[in-house]
Amino acid sequence: MRQFLKLHPDSHCAAASCIEVDVSRPRAGALLVVYEVTGDIGALCIPPVAAPAQADALWRHTCFEAFVCPLPGEAYSEFNFAPSIQWAAYRFDGYRRGMRVAAEIGAPQIKVQCAPGRFTLQAALALGALPSGRWRLGLAAVIEEANGPLSYWALAHPAGKPDFHRADCFICEI
């Protein structure tokens, strides 16, 4: 299922013109997300690929995010994927409540590809610890331009500053 991220109204991004996300559940308990950024990729700040590792504060630089909220309920998981192939996984009991590392989630398989005019990050997750029914997803990205500014992209933006954790950002059902 192809989704398009929208630039937050208070953000500006000269380098990225479009961010599309293909999302699927290839099997029970699995999630596959493919983020594709088009634009002047050379003007983006994209860290080099490193050894895959769990890391915090990835959202301070170019980072792709997926929020998974099993239905019904308000508990959700947050996944961060960096172009360096570093990653993070967190659990929340509700809106920004009870944050903890999702230690039961294994390392995602992350692949990146950079070409003129296009950057792609693919992340495959095994989420067997989550209920296998329907999920509401929030898909988002933080894009850092080489000259410094960050821009915020998501399926939906509530009023106010960028906040990907809000339930009204979780508008994709799968």
pLDDT of 118-127, one tens digit each? 999 999 998 8
From CA 106, how far away is CA 131, in angstroms rounded?
16
Compute the distance between CA of residue 83 and CA of residue 68 in angstroms, rounded to an integer.
Answer: 20
CA distance 29 to 149: 36
pLDDT tens-digit map of 52-79 = 999 999 999 999 999 999 989 899 999 9
Let me know: does 143 contact 154? Beta carbons within 8 Å.
no
Asked if 172 and 137 touch (Cβ cutoff 8 Å), the reply is: yes
At residue 118's C-alpha, the angle toward residues 79 and 60, to 5°, is 40
* Section 19-26 average pLDDT: 95
Domains of the chain, earliest start first? 2-173 (2.60.40.1190)
Q: What pLDDT was estimated at residue 43? A: 95
CA–CA distance, 46 with 113 (Å, rounded to integer)? 11
